[in-house]
Structure 1
Amino acid sequence: MKAKVLKLIKIPFIRNVAIMASGTALAQAITMALSPLITRIYGPEAFGILGVFVAITGIVAPLAALTYPIAIVLPKREDHAKGLMRLSLYISILIASFVAIILSVFNENIVNLFNIESVAPYLYLIPVVILCAGFLQVVEQWLIRKKQFRISANASIIQAVLLQGGKVVAGLFFPVASILIIFTAFGEGIKALFMALFTSKFEVNKIRASSNCEKINLNMIAKKYVDFPKYRAPEVLFNAISQSLPVLMLASFFGPSSVGFYTIGRSVLSMPTILIGKSVGDVFYPRISDAEKSGEDLLQLIKKATLMLGIIGILPFGIIILFGPVLFSFIFGPHWLVAGEYARWIALWSFFGFINIPSVRALPVLGAQSFHLKFTILMLLTRIIVLAIGYYAFSSDQIAVALFGISGAVLNVFLILSTLKISKIYLTANTDQ
């Protein structure tokens, strides 16, 4: 048995996933250990306000650099990857500046238009979130390209200690939503800062050297990877709206407490994805990119990774589906019982979202970003419809969340099957060449 374990660890993919997962596991352990205390300090309404803020920033933050950072892993030439880094940072600064100007002029109009008075004082933090997100995306993708997974893992641990510990300490004196929002706004920036600090001096100098040696034409780089802002950026936008939709619609239909229940339920159910799914995805992306360059069977890679995540995810998500209300009321307190009911249905959607990670990471490599955009638009429209049905037809927040969870599960299964079909066609086309 020991020999088999040692043999598995020697496989680069397994070793890299283990490195990422171990750091993320410790970070999530810190988060989980402090979550019961944090939920008791702040309460559902504070989490509801936080949920609205996260829903808004969750739409704009992924677009901080128009998804150009995702392309950093792909180029064969190192100077092209560095050019993408510079391009991404410039775009992030421009977008953050533009948003800051818009907010300074139209803040009140935006608040009234979207009926978000509860977060009006915090909208000026959005440019900060955009800058932090852009910085994180660039550093994260560079480290993925260089396979420096240990740095990402260590940064995740420090981020968890500072953010969750800070929420507890500050909450003892000021148990208000603004504390949660401020820590959240700077969270990605803190992680990116420590990633950059932990990157070796040699690597930092190599990155800086890109501006001193042969100048890379950023216009050429932007055009070469134009598929990312053309297809991936709209997909990311629609997906972010789709993820934030329940929060915004529940806030409008049922009030902030309902958003608080959803937010804590979604936070708990995202832990397996953050712990294992993201680790697998971050390692799988450069792995499948390298496999495509060397002519390996991408279909089998996607199948194996999906099956592995299915085996891992069935237990944690299954437990929430069966015992959600009991667990939530016991861990977080009796006033979070409804969050457990929400979590049952969120778990159904989250499980299939968890196992579709290899498919999502494979689509850029397969040249299927156009399909991904169309799929995300379909998912967004479906979610709008089912949440509206839950409110207008049943006047029930729990039915709305249940319909949301079921539709998410069905659509994620469709995405996985479609990706497998696309990878089969891709394999056949490359074999015939």
Structure 2
Amino acid sequence: MLNLVITLRQKTHEVWRSRFVRSVAVVATGTAGAQAITMAFSPLITRLYGPEAYGVQGTFMAILGVAIPVGALAYPIAIVLPRRDEEALGIIQLSAYISVFIAVLLAFGLWMGGEEVVSLLEIESVGNFIYLVPVAMLFASWKQIAQQWLIRKKEFGVIARSALATSGVLNSARALAGFVHPIGAVLIVLATLVEALHTLLMLIGIRKRTTIDRSEPSEALKFSIIKLARRHRDFPLYRAPQIMINAASQSLPVLMLSAFFGPSTAGFYMLSKMVMGMPTTLVGMAVSDVFYARITEASHNNENLSRHILRATGVLAAIGIIPFSIVIFFGPWVFSLVFGPEWNVAGEYARWLAFFFFFNLVNKPSNAAVPILGIQRGLLFYEALSTGGKVAGFLLGVYWLNSDIWAIAMFSIIGIVAYSGVMFWIYFCAVKWDRDAKIT
């Protein structure tokens, strides 16, 4: 028995000494603090604003979620990959130019036909605030650029602190504004401003904490921005459409619930999605960001990638099983207790979304490995099939069963099947990568 205890202590010490685990802990701590602030304010904010205001904000965020992947054509994700910093800086420059161009182009398009877009999508509740989408998209693109540079430099503490500070400011502003003017428009404006604040805080951290490594001669200087764009063309060709399709599939329930059942129903869904997404935000994104840097390094060192993916996936499954199970069994009661009795329906939605977000959580390591494995084209094909299936399931619930809960249930079930399939596919691609690496 004593030997077992000693062995467990040694293993625990080894795990904690792991740079990967410590990096995840740093990011997760900051994210946990940010989520704790959000949860602490949520009972007050949900009572101040109500389901309809949440629905208006959710509709705006759904549109923004589809626009953001196009903002810099997914080039920022490539910042982590080059061996040398100077090539990464070239990708940063490329991403910044593209983000400004696309934001201006989108703003011009909305200026010409914004009213038609609002009418076509049946999002009259958002109204003129749709013109904030290009602004928020630009800030979100710059935030992604800054975050990917910090991931490259392994400055996870800066990411954590900026998330913590942003959450504190945002939720304080929501609460104060809610006492004065509790409407959805306030939430939309704050959602736009917070993207700018988050970006600014990370840029300050970059200025203070990061340096450019010029110790090795760089071939990147020989390449123009255009040649860098061509070298990493997989990102705009395959990854940007994949992320956009995924965002569209995530945004579809909000838009359709608002159109068919009203903004209050969309508000119920928005809250349940926010709460169910917290484990993914808290742990999944922390692991994903750190794991992306780690598995990139592992590929440079010819390490076993499939083993890394399997281990990280197992850890996330163990972390997520208990909190999601609690919601599956007690969702309506928990939501009514925490957010007020009028949010009981959100708890019913959360029961089904718990299944979906559990698989979304454990999928993060596999998804992070895609650029390294060079299978972004295949991921785009998968995303198109997956989204088509989820859309079909949701429409089946809306039109045939005429039920908001069944629509969400069908959406979640098909999502579970899709996530399971893509995880197996990516894992076997990693196994093939490992086998080929040994041969060479």
TM > 0.5:
yes
State TM-score, norm by structure 2. Answer: 0.95
**Paired residue for 1:140, among 147, 150, 167?**
147
Shift of 1:4: 5.0
CA contact (8 A) 1:234 1:373 kept: yes
Q: Between Structure 1 and Structure 2, how many residues are aligned? A: 428
C-alpha distance in 1, partners of 2:93/2:131?
26
Match of 2:49 among 42, 45, 49: 42
Could you tell me whether the CA contact under 8 Å between 1:62 and 1:133 is conserved in 2? no
SS in 2 for 1:167: helix
Structure 1 residues 424, 407: closer, same or farther in 2, change over 3 A?
same
* Structure 1 residue aligned with 2:88: 81
CA deviation digits over 1:299-357, x for unaligned, max 9? 11000000000000001111111110000011000110010000000010000000000
AA at the equivalent of 1:102: G
Match of 1:284 in 2: 291
Distance in 1, Cα, partners of 2:210 & 2:309: 31
Provide the residue aligned with 2:327 in structure 1: 320
In 2, Cα distance between equivalents of 1:365 and 1:199: 25
Out of 9, 28, 36, the residue aligned to residue 16 of structure 2 is 9
1:409 aligned onto 2:416: yes
Q: Check conservation: 1:144, 1:282, Cα contact below 8 A.
A: yes
Matched, 1:432 2:435: no
Which amino acid in the other structure matches residue 127 of structure 2?
A: A
Partner of 2:217 in structure 1? none
Q: CA deviation at 1:201?
A: 3.8
Q: Tell me which amino acid in the other structure corresponds to 1:85.
A: I
Question: Could you tell me whether the CA contact under 8 Å between 2:85 and 2:213 is conserved in 1?
Answer: no
Tell me if 1:261 matches 2:283: no
Cα deviations by residue, 1:165-211 (Å, 9 ceiling, x for unpaired): 1000111101111111111112222111101112244637889xxxx
Q: Secondary structure at the match of 1:66?
A: coil
Runs of 4+ residues over 6 Å off in structure 1: 204-207
Unpaired stretches in structure 2, ≥5 consecutive residues: 1-7, 215-219
Query: Which of 245, 253, 258 in structure 2 is aligned with 1:251?
Result: 258
Letter in 2 for 1:307: G
The structure 1 residue matched to 2:232, chosen from 225, 232, 237, is 225
Q: For 1:368 and 1:206, locate their aligned partners in 2 and report how far apart those are by CA, in whole Å.
A: 29
1:193 to 2:200 alignment: yes
Aligned pair 1:155/2:162, yes or no?
yes
Retained in 1: the 8 A contact 2:153–2:210? Answer: no
Shift in Å, 1:6: 4.0
> Shift of the alpha carbon at 1:2?
6.2
Q: Where does residue 175 of structure 2 map in the other structure?
A: 168
- 1:44-83 to 2 correspondences below 5 Å: 44-83=51-90
Give distance in 2, aligned partners of 1:191 and 1:316: 28
TM-score scaled by length of structure 1: 0.96
Matched, 1:123 2:120: no
**Contact 1:79–1:216 under 8 Å retained in 2:** no
Give the fraction of aligned pairs with identical amino acids, expressed as a percent: 43
1:399: Cα distance to partner? Answer: 0.7
2:3 corresponding residue in structure 1 = none
- Quote the RMSD (CA, aligned, Å): 1.6
Q: Is the 8 A contact 1:139 1:192 kept in 2?
A: yes
| Distance in 2, Cα, partners of 1:157 & 1:288 | 26
Picking from 333, 343, 355, the partner of 1:336 is 343
The residue number in structure 2 matching 1:180 is 187
- What is the rounded CA distance, in whole Å, between the counterparts of 1:99 and 1:376 in structure 2? 24
Residue 103 of structure 1 aligns with which residue? 110
Would you say the 8 A contact 1:136–1:191 is kept in 2?
A: yes
Counterpart among 348, 356, 362 of residue 349 in structure 1: 356
Question: Structure 1 counterpart of 2:31, which letter?
Answer: T
Q: Does 1:418 align with 2:425?
A: yes
